[in-house]
């Protein structure tokens, strides 16, 4: 007789609000650093799997199967291995608040959408023992916020992101910089402070450091790859529809927020609009390819779309991928 099919999982609309949040919880599949035996399920059974050194064997308390035979042989004293639990999640956010993120032609500009994405990530990764830290890339320098837990810390982080200085403003807490910091430098800074294995979320338009030649290396790709070696990395790409195509509205003046350069463009030229759309599509493909080569998970958000629905679809898709090996049938018939 064939295997009985598994019952269908209820949809999000059929669940209570608390159940929806648990269903949408970001699933981290990389091994974590931590000591807390909390509610997060580890990748391996038991109290933990991350080596944390050795100590002397205590008769009647320690299990013989945890004996560290190499240390015992060197010291001639029985030792057991110590391990850390894989259940404590530290999330680092790198939020791009540079000049290019101030652009927007829809209901939200790109920076406001970035704050919305940070709020969602913060609420979905909240839990006992979990901590959230951030690095904010402003036009006047890199601002660091140490990782802490709790709703109060998350709300304070969101207020700081909304109050981050814009072009023409000034942040009194940040000393003057010789020039706007680059995304590659900010990624390297996150790599230096993110000592524990965990989740790193980069929210940016990823326009910084893109070469004109698509075959040339992207400046931020190498530091991003270094992060993916140790952490699970989620790259949230924020775009605006007018960055992808030009409307036919006559003569317009385009300004580069990073350099201040101005150029007048006649949008009535159909061939110009087609060239612009083709160049924009090639640029976004360049970003996608660089993120894929670096090993980061890619989430694309647009200011003219329902960003909450996009995040829900992404989280559900990643959850299905994470659970796919466990849910795969053993094969054969009963």
pLDDT digits (tens, 9 = 90+) for 131-158: 899 999 988 888 888 888 888 888 888 8
Instruction: Tell me how many helices (H) and strands (E) the chain has.
Output: 8, 10
Coil, helix or strand at residue 153: helix
> Which residues are paired to 265 by β-bridges?
252
pTM given for the model: 0.70
Q: Name which of 36-40, 133-137, 211-215, 233-237 the model is least confident about.
A: 36-40
Strands (E), the chain: 50-56, 79-84, 90-96, 131-138, 141-148, 199-204, 232-239, 251-255, 262-266, 297-302
Coil, helix or strand at residue 268: coil
Q: 95 with 203: CB under 8 angstroms? A: yes
**pLDDT band at 197; cut points 50, 70, 90:** confident
The CATH homologous superfamily for domain 90-322 is von Willebrand factor, type A domain (3.40.50.410)
Give, in degrees to the nearest 5, the angle at Cα 292 between 33 and 199: 20
- Residues of the chain above pLDDT 90, percent: 26
The per-residue pLDDT for range 71-86, each reduced to its tens digit, is 888 888 898 887 655 5
For tokens 């060239």, name the residue.
275
Q: 174 with 143: CB under 8 angstroms? A: yes
The per-residue pLDDT for range 25-42, each reduced to its tens digit, is 555 555 555 544 444 444
Q: In which element (H, E) is residue 333 found?
A: none
Q: 311 with 117: CB under 8 angstroms? A: yes
**pLDDT band at 317; cut points 50, 70, 90:** confident
Report, as an integer, the average pLDDT of 202-228. Answer: 90
In the chain, list all ranges with CATH 3.40.50.410.
Answer: 90-322
Radius of gyration of the chain (CA): 24
CA distance 104 to 107: 8
Q: 274 with 237: CB under 8 angstroms? A: no
The rounded mean pLDDT for the chain is: 78
> Which residues are paired to 202 by β-bridges?
94, 235
Q: What is the DSSP letter of 53?
A: E
pLDDT for residue 43: 42
CA distance 242 to 249: 12
Report, as an integer, the average pLDDT of 77-97. Answer: 80
**Ordered DSSP codes for 205-253:** ---TT--SSTTSPPTTHHHHHHHHHHSEEEEEEEE-GGGT-----SEEE
What the block records as the tokens of 164 is 């981050």
């Amino acid at each position: 007789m064939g295997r009985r099919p598994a019952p269908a999982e209820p949809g999000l609309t059929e669940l209570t609000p608390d159940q929806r949040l648990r269903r949408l919880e970001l699933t981290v599949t990389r091994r974590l650093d931590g000591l807390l035996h909390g509610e997060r399920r580890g990748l391996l059974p038991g109290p933990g799997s991350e080596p944390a050194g050795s100590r002397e064997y205590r008769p009647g308390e320690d299990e013989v199967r945890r004996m560290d035979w190499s240390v015992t042989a060197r010291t001639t004293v029985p030792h057991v291995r110590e391990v850390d639990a894989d259940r404590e999640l530290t999330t680092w956010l790198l939020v791009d608040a540079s000049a290019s993120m101030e652009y927007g032609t829809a209901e939200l500009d790109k920076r406001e959408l970035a704050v919305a994405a940070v709020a969602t990530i913060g609420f979905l990764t909240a839990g006992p023992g979990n901590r959230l830290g951030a690095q904010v890339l402003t036009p006047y320098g890199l601002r660091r916020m140490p990782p802490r837990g709790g709703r109060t810390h998350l709300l304070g982080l969101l207020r700081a992101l909304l109050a981050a200085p814009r072009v023409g403003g000034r942040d009194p807490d940040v000393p003057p910089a010789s020039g706007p910091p680059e995304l590659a430098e900010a990624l390297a800074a996150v790599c230096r402070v993110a000592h524990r294995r965990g989740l790193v979320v980069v929210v940016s338009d990823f326009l910084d450091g893109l070469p004109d030649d698509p075959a040339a290396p992207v400046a931020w790709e190498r530091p991003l790859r270094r992060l993916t070696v140790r952490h699970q990395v989620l790259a949230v790409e924020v775009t605006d529809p007018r960055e992808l195509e030009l409307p036919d509205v006559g003569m317009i003046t385009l300004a580069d927020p990073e350099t201040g350069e101005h150029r007048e463009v006649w949008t009535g030229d159909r061939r110009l609009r087609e060239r612009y759309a083709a160049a924009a599509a090639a640029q976004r493909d360049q970003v996608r390819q660089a993120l894929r080569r670096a090993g980061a998970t890619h989430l694309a958000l647009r200011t003219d779309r329902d960003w909450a629905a996009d995040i829900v679809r992404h989280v559900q898709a990643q959850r299905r991928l994470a659970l796919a090996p466990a849910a795969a049938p053993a094969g054969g018939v009963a």
